[in-house]
Structure 1
Amino acid sequence: MSDDLLTPRLRLSRPSPADLDAVHAINADSRVWTHFPSLRHRELATTVAMMERWERSWNEAGLGSSVVRLRSTGDVIGNGGCTLLGGEVWNVGYRIAADHHGHGYATEVAGAAIERARAIDPDRPVIAFLVEHNHASARVAEKLGLRLVHRGPDAGNHDPSVMRLVYADRDLTAEQLAATLR
């Protein structure tokens, strides 16, 4: 099975060191972090650490987050996919460049990644976790057939009023839920 995933408009590819600058530029843009500004990548080291987590997931589980390119141009417009979280669940996530918001790319990326995750390990649940005020991500999770299975305080958030939502494709065990809350 090739690491690349193709959708009608996108190519999702396993990241390489050559992708670092493009991935960092997207994750450093405050416009993609309006729902959680403190997570914006202010230093390149933050992006390096994120990409290292993706690579561990690729190595351990055969799947991790990908670099998202437009098939028509090859331009990098984001990152996303399913990454193994806590050895328990597939965590679907994405970050799309602000100039490409509103075109359904997040749903396209996440849908393709979920399909691949289920092909690799259909017994492992697929989850999406997000902060409650990120309504766009909640809509994507629901479009993908995930349902809300948990609502609680977002541990470690500098704002104690922020709630974390966990969406999943099935009921989660206590261990699986715990993996999403770390």
Structure 2
Amino acid sequence: MAFTPRTTASAPRYLASPDGGFTPRTTASAPRYLASPDGIGFTPRTTASALAPLRTARLLLDAPRVDDLDALHGIYGDPRTWVHLPSGRHTVPERTAGLLERWLDDWTTAGLGAWVVHEASDPSTVIGHGGCALRGDADSGGAFWNLGYRFSPEAQGRGYATELSHAAIAAARGLRPEVPVVAYLLEHNTASARVAEKVGLVLQHRAPDAGNPDPDAIRLVYADRELSPAELRSALV
């Protein structure tokens, strides 16, 4: 498998601004971020800048690139990030590379996908990955925005998942508001359930977790609206 980087690996994504903030290198002379009305996230100045990084109060959210592989595998290969699903840990970089290929494709085909996450105070370090990606079968009416995230252990417990989720939901609704936002998680992952509820998602369904090696594992499906039978079937696959 091969990846084509969107920009050269040697080009920094951000330049320091005089006030201590950061602006993308490609448009350093033109502000790329606008504060959202709710003060939670930021929206791109134009739809043409969909691939430009977004800045929230504390985070920089950037579309993934091929040279993010090592940093992402460091997170997805860390057993501490898989406490609720140990079997999900990536033991080889090739597994992360396979997912990265899909994440890159999300941005190409849907115009939105999960971001690579940096702290605004340290834009050179990847601390997580997450956002909304289009999933399900659109032809059968089962398409949905899948909200998900994974943070390094050092970045957990700071409210970053909630901050990221607010921005992701806003981006998904701005692009395709008719498609529901869905988050599914294991029942014993109470921290993720709290995040889902904080960003306005409501529990829609409880069922066995398909494909989980633990036969007693239960999947909870949260969504921003009532789901159709087709949408719910897609979320349970």
Q: TM-score, normalised by structure 2?
A: 0.75
| CA–CA separation in structure 2 for the residues paired with 1:171 and 1:68 | 30
Q: Partner residue of 2:180?
A: 125
The counterpart of 2:131, out of the listed 73, 77, 81, is 81
Moved more, 37-46 or 54-63: 54-63
The runs of 5 or more residues in structure 1 that have no matched partner are none
| CA–CA separation in structure 1 for the residues paired with 2:174 and 2:228 | 21
Aligned residues: 182
| CA–CA separation in structure 1 for the residues paired with 2:222 and 2:100 | 24
CA offsets, 1:147-172, max 9 Å, x none?
00010000111111000000000011
The runs of 5 or more residues in structure 2 that have no matched partner are 1-46
Q: TM-score, normalised by structure 1?
A: 0.97
| CA–CA separation in structure 2 for the residues paired with 1:104 and 1:151 | 26
| CA–CA separation in structure 2 for the residues paired with 1:12 and 1:139 | 22
| CA–CA separation in structure 2 for the residues paired with 1:19 and 1:171 | 36
Q: Partner residue of 1:45?
A: 94
| CA–CA separation in structure 1 for the residues paired with 2:66 and 2:102 | 13
1:92 maps onto 2:141 in alignment: no
**Structure with max Cα Rg:** 2
Q: CA deviation at 1:56?
A: 2.1
Q: Partner residue of 1:116?
A: 171
The share of aligned pairs that are identical, in percent, is 52
Structure with greater helix percent: 1
- Kindly indicate whether structure 1 or structure 2 has the higher relative contact order, using CA contacts under 8 Å at least 6 residues apart: 1
4+ aligned runs moved over 3 Å, structure 1? none
The alignment yields a C-alpha RMSD, in angstroms, of: 0.9
The counterpart of 1:165, out of the listed 181, 206, 220, is 220
Moved more, 55-64 or 16-25: 55-64
Q: Partner residue of 2:43?
A: none
| Pairing 1:28-67 to 2, within 5 Å after superposition | 28-67=77-116
1:10 maps onto 2:65 in alignment: no
